[in-house]
Amino acid sequence: MLFNKQNIALKDTGLFSSLFEDYISQSNQVTPFYHHHISKQDFSNYFDNTKYDTLNRSVLVSALLKQSQLSHNSTSVSIENINSLASSQTFTVATGHQLCLFTGPLYFIYKIASTINLCKALKENFSDKNFVPVYWMASEDHDFEEINHANVFGKKVVWNSSQKGSVGEFSTEGLQEVITELKTILGESEKANEILTVFETAYLKHSNLADATRYLVNELFGEHGIVILDGNDSELKQLFKEEFKKDIFENTCYKLVSNTITELQKNYSAQVTPREINIFYKEKGLRERIEKQGERFVVLNTKISFSKEEIESIIQISPEKLSPNVVLRPLYQQKILPNIAYVGGPGELAYWLEYKTMFEAFNIHLPILMPRHFVMLLDKGTLNKLQKLNLSINDTFKNGEDLVKQFIKTQHNDIHLEEAKKQLTELYASIIETVNRIDKTLVGTTEAEKQKAVNGISMIEQKINRALKQKSETDINQIWSIKEKLFPKGTPQERYDNVGMYYTKYGKDFITSVMETLTYDLEKFEYSALIEK
């Protein structure tokens, strides 16, 4: 393996919301919003109490097999996993993510690795059952600005396109120029050419973004049995017709989730806000929200509208024209999959916590909400710099200015100006007492002189610190260099850097080592620092 792992308590990073931290620690304020938590016992209880009697496994297997044929690099182990879903003793662990260009930031990799690793951990603990890792492609998402770029060695590579609608249906035409730009950044080493070939095959030999992403994920994770599910599927949406009806005509999700949010907001902020109708109307080049206006169902920002009967007909005959939003999509996922756990980041798990009563009302199982791996990568050079500066990995999570101040204090602990201020204040207190006995009108003047003296010490202190900073300029620059490497542009590395940067250094061993190092503990969850050996 390439890395050693050092665990860090989530609260010590300062990166997470109170809701997420309280969920992980099973605070009593959060327990009303879920059924089961992160432990072997909770998974055991879930299996005992949860049946998937109404799940249509045959339709699921059929749809997934058809989808797997859209990419020639679907692996035999992935196909075996799909076929195993026909058995009542096979369950899925799912994660979902947007179709980010070149996989986008590193946490795309970590989410899928977490999902695969959780399946392994569950198999070790429940050997009589099978567990299949599923990557749900958010192919119906229409927020192109969120996925059209990748940050590589500090440079932003952007795919500019005027296409509209669901991003999974976007043509990959025009990506040759973007890949050419990426080549100039990654260089021409053997490992750089290896990942560039993967990107070229994905984006230049597949006609749309969904198929390109399917190929890319298969190439990176196919050997680990990942199953890729595209919810933009007529066969699967046929299974969700009743839920579409209840959302559109009865506003069930809106009412239930709004009530839960009211309870949640007594202690926390809401992550998402439900709509009365949580469905988009979708055609080629179009994905817009449906809203009821009077007796008509209007597709916003278009001239399209439907009567109640026409909407009913779409649900019955062409449900693929309907696309769930962030509130309804989890319900869709759980309706079609035997899914026992959802692996996500803090924002995702926060909005899933709004959905418990909605799932109960639809008689659909809420999965166990599992945090993905949170990761910081440190190479040998960065670790050596930290050691020379006498800083710990935990220190790197601190604000940069605070870290510099801390460093200066530790380097120059013979400075005691706070004590000087204290002594000066005590001296002036004695003077003021004397002045007060002699002439009270001079007290104000004396107080002013005291403040001038204290301010003078503060000014001297600032000048000393500036002088110390100049003396320590090299070390301070190293601190800022470390912060920029681990938190580029003030953002955690995993939410910024692209996998291509690390592939050019480590090759495919990078993925393998990440998978092997980030094992899943069902009893305790912490932040992971992966340190280069």
HEC sequence for 59-105: HHHHHHHHHHCCCCCCCHHHHHHHHHCCCCCEEEEEEEECCCHHHCE
Mean pLDDT of 98-125: 97
Phi, psi of 446 (to 5 degrees): -65, -40
Give 68-77 pLDDT, tens digit per residue: 999 999 999 9
Query: Angle, nearest 10°, between helix axes 209-221 and 190-204?
Result: 140
The predicted pLDDT at position 359 comes to 97
Do the beta carbons of residue 206 and residue 212 sit within 8 Å?
A: yes
> Tokens 């005691």 map to which residue?
416
Is residue 304 classed as helix, strand or coil in its secondary structure? coil
Burial class from Cβ neighbours inside 10 Å (0-12, 13-18, 19+) for residue 366 reads buried
Mean pLDDT of 84-103: 97
User: In the β-sheet with 90-97, what is the strand arrangement from edge to edge?
Assistant: 227-230, 130-137, 90-97, 339-344, 368-371
The C-alpha atoms of residue 22 and residue 526 are separated, in whole angstroms, by: 13
The predicted pLDDT at position 462 comes to 82
> Tokens 């909407």 map to which residue?
311
Percent of the chain with pLDDT over 90: 84
Total count of residues recorded for the chain: 533
| SS3 letters across 389-449 | CCCCCHHHHCCHHHHHHHHHHHHCCCCCHHHHHHHHHHHHHHHHHHHHHHCHHHHHHHHHH
Give 448-496 pLDDT, tens digit per residue: 888 888 888 888 888 887 777 777 788 889 999 999 999 999 999 999 9
Mean pLDDT of 129-153: 97
Do the beta carbons of residue 4 and residue 516 sit within 8 Å?
A: no
The predicted pLDDT at position 253 comes to 97
The predicted pLDDT at position 196 comes to 97
Do the beta carbons of residue 174 and residue 134 sit within 8 Å?
A: no
* pTM score, whole prediction: 0.89
Do the beta carbons of residue 248 and residue 260 sit within 8 Å?
A: no
The predicted pLDDT at position 460 comes to 84
Phi, psi of 339 (to 5 degrees): -95, 120
What mean pLDDT, rounded, does the chain reach? Answer: 94
The predicted pLDDT at position 416 comes to 60
The predicted pLDDT at position 398 comes to 95
Give 192-250 pLDDT, tens digit per residue: 999 999 999 999 999 999 999 999 999 999 999 999 999 999 999 999 999 999 999 99
User: Which residues, including other chains, have CB under 8 Å from residue 264's CB and lie 6 or more apart?
Assistant: 19, 33, 270, 353, 354
At 231, list the tokens.
């919810």
The predicted pLDDT at position 415 comes to 57
Is residue 6 classed as helix, strand or coil in its secondary structure? strand
Is residue 1 classed as helix, strand or coil in its secondary structure? coil
Do the beta carbons of residue 298 and residue 292 sit within 8 Å?
A: yes
Mean pLDDT of 36-50: 94
